[in-house]
Chains A and B, each alone.
Chain A
Amino acid sequence: MITSRTAVVALSVASVSAMFLAGCSSDSGSGGGSGKIAFIQGVSGDEFYISMQCGIEAAAKDAGVTVDTQGPVKFDPTLQKPIVDSVVASRPSAILIAPTDVAAMQAPLEAASRAGIKVVLVDTTLEDPSIAVSSISSDNKGGGAEAFSAIERLSPAGGKVLVISTDPGVSTADARVEGFEEAVGANSAFDYLGVQYSHNDPAEAARLVSAALAKDPDIVGIFAANTFAAEGTATGVRQAGKQDQVKIVGFDAGPAQVKQLREGTVQALIAQQPGTIGTDGVEQAMAAIDDKPVTAEISTGFHVITADNIDGEGAQYVYKSSC
């Protein structure tokens, strides 16, 4: 009777292998020509990446290719790597990706590049971006400096300022913090309390801000370096009841932040142009596929949205939560 464990193991391994061997063919070296491109977000459910997706889908439609969007549930390279591997196996002509870690995603994207797939880095970058045909991101350092200018305008007298960022090692957030720190260093009226990391979790950001306000009750300004950090910072300030004293400048303009802007808890938002990053990305990808010249680095701009211009010219820069 074949109920012994060895027999079960042998039979099952045989049946599964037979299935794979039946479909097995040699590793093909070419990338595609398949008329489809893939977009791998940094994290799914983030309005910044959803706006980028909208831009990419619109541009792809014009170029006549289909787009498949995938993203990890957390901004985490251990979650993004299997997705990259699976996307590479589906052999799109190009991958537009926001790498979640400059080091961890280097090897999987090199493998994609070797397989003939054109890689375009959008938003974040890698340690060695030469494997990609193009890197497109906002001028994050300038954005950080602009955020400090906004705080300067809101609190001309000076005082203590704090930065809430997401995770160290995220190239875009680090650049924003760097820009802010340089600007703060140049202005002696302001006292820089340092940067704290909220790990892309609004609840964590709220806790950090509450604790910081308990330690330094006279903080005049907080710069929140991304969407989730801004959400949590505003919550933390409200919980402490210090909306009038603390001026918050947030990076990224998702619907929740715009709501906070209208309510007055947040005073200014530095909006990137994710849609433009997306369309530029598709443009560069299509140029690479057609063997036309590409631009290795593109820097997109940002806009400052305040309560004054939110209903006017600022409205067009708000991020979308669906296409």
Chain B
Amino acid sequence: MSNQTISPSLEPLPPGDRPSRHTFDLVESLGKLARVQVFQIVLVLAAICLVFSIMAPGSFPEWGNIRQIIQNVSILAVLGIGMTFVIVTSGIDLSVGSVLVFSGVVSAKTMAAIGGDGWGVAAVGIVVALGCGLCWGLLNGFLIGKAKVPPLIVTLGTLGGALGLSQVITGGVDIRDVPPVLVDTIGYGNLPATTIPLISSIALVLVVIFGIVLHRTKFGLYTFAVGSKEQSARRVGIKVDMHLVKIYALSGTLAGLAGILSLSQYGTTAIAGQSQTNLNVIAAVVIGGTSLFGGIGTMFGTVVGLFIPAVLQNGFVIVGVQPFWQQVAVGAVLIAAVYFDQRRRDAASRGQSSSSLKRLWSRSP
């Protein structure tokens, strides 16, 4: 044992000076809570809801309206799950919208070829859609994980490829032959004896399951490790390449599921649609606090991030504002979210706290 004196901060405090575990400073707690990123986003959502509730008290806060918002957000939520995993690994998946359309198209064609109306046909359609999504996901994953092509380029390529193939298969004509059992129960049905939409329940169950996977399992831990510092993850022994393949396969499969859900909700393959879906999902995930540079993210944040653009659009329409403002508002929130994330990372890497906005105006680097 050396004779060096321990620095004052490491010396144990005399018993009388240790802070008691039972004191609870409410203000300090709220202050700490407010700095937790996810709660900041919830505050933003709560503020938006409050403003619209005040401006349109008879229409906005009604269960009927909220139910519609939740129903319309459900498909994006399913896509957002996969996108959260992808962005946490500091990758990106631009192909989700096109894979959704492709899965819907192949699934609809299969169901039309089999004929019939019942749940048997629908089940085949669901399996086919998941399979298509899985194939595209594996393709993405293989090119990104094994062939080491940057994710932006690979998924940009599959975005065009999947959409193009959908148009080749259908000749550009939407297929409107969806078994009514899908549209009536999944598309517009509710949970038995409630008014909660079934499609939203499916999305919620998946969000919870994959939230647990992301935050409580080894798979999720490896995801964060790969996103945080890929080299270190490799050296520790994580099979990064296979992990990336699995992540993109997950994203693709969920896009396939979203394809069958979209088919159920719209009753048509909507080939010309879904053009902005990928960017909307990425914006939602990033607004929710997941860092584009990887390593940080929460499933709950993604859910909140999905609601902000949806509530903004809904509120603007109810209040009677031009819908173009919604895009302006979402753009502003997105930039603000990434700015605060970037500041937090910079400050953390320098060991400083990131609480002051003065840095914005100061001349120091």
Contacts and interface: CB of A to CB of B under 8 A. Distances in A.
A89 B298 CA distance: 31
A322 to B, nearest CB: 13
Interface in A202-240: none
A70 B317 CA distance: 7
A12 interface: yes
Nearest to B58: A91
B323 A71 contact: yes
Contacts of A16: 42, 45-46, 49
Contact of B174 (A11, A24, A83, A169): A169
Interface string A96-135: 0000011110110000000100000000000100000000
Given A8-B33, A20-B49, A81 B38 contact: no
Interface stretch (B130-138, B221-229, B267-275, B355-363): B267-275
Contact of B270 (A3, A101, A102, A168): A101
Given A24-B61, A85-B68, A197-B172, A107 B183 contact: yes
Given A5-B298, A27-B63, A89 B314 contact: yes
A68 B32 CA distance: 44
B273 A76 contact: yes
A107 B267 contact: yes
Contacts of B262: 78
Contact of B57 (A23, A79, A85): A23
Contacts of A72: 323
B62 A3 contact: no
A260 to B, nearest CB: 25
Contact of A89 (B46, B62, B275): B62
Given A23-B53, A27-B64, A89-B68, A76 B314 contact: no
A86 interface: yes
A1 interface: yes
Given A89-B62, A107-B187, A3 B36 contact: yes
Given A101-B266, A107-B188, A169-B174, A27 B62 contact: yes
Contacts of B173: 168-169
Contacts of A107: 183, 187-188, 267
A185 interface: no
A101 B267 CA distance: 10
A70 B313 CA distance: 11
A89 B314 CA distance: 9
Contacts of B61: 19-20, 22-24
Interface string B146-183: 00000000000000000000000000111010000001
B56 A90 contact: yes
Interface string B312-344: 011001101001100100000000000000000
Nearest to B277: A78
A188 interface: no
Interface string B43-70: 0011001100100111111111110110
Contacts of A115: 64
A169 B266 CA distance: 14
| Best-buried of A15, A22, A87, A103 by chain B (most CB within 10 Å) | A103
B128 to A, nearest CB: 20
Contact of B273 (A1, A78, A89): A78
A127 B177 CA distance: 12
A22 B54 CA distance: 12
A186 interface: no
A310 B266 CA distance: 42
| Best-buried of A3, A72, A78 by chain B (most CB within 10 Å) | A78
B298 A12 contact: no
Contact of B62 (A24, A73, A77, A169): A24
Interface in A244-264: none
Contact of B72 (A70, A85, A102, A199): A85
A89 B318 contact: yes
B196 interface: no
A127 B66 CA distance: 28
Given A86-B313, A107-B183, A199 B272 contact: yes
Contacts of A75: 272
B32 A90 contact: no
Interface of B: 29, 32-33, 36, 38-39, 42, 45-46, 49-50, 53, 56-66, 68-69, 71-72, 172-174, 176, 183, 187-188, 195, 215, 262, 266-268, 270, 272-277, 298, 300, 304, 310, 313-314, 317-318, 320, 323-324, 327
21 contacts: A3-B36, A11-B33, A12-B38, A16-B46, A22-B61, A23-B57, A24-B61, A27-B62, A27-B63, A71-B323, A73-B324, A74-B272, A76-B275, A77-B270, A79-B276, A85-B314, A86-B313, A90-B317, A103-B266, A104-B267, A199-B272
Given A25-B63, A26-B63, A107-B183, 12 more contacts: A3-B36, A9-B300, A12-B46, A15-B42, A20-B49, A75-B272, A76-B272, A77-B273, A87-B318, A91-B58, A102-B176, A103-B176
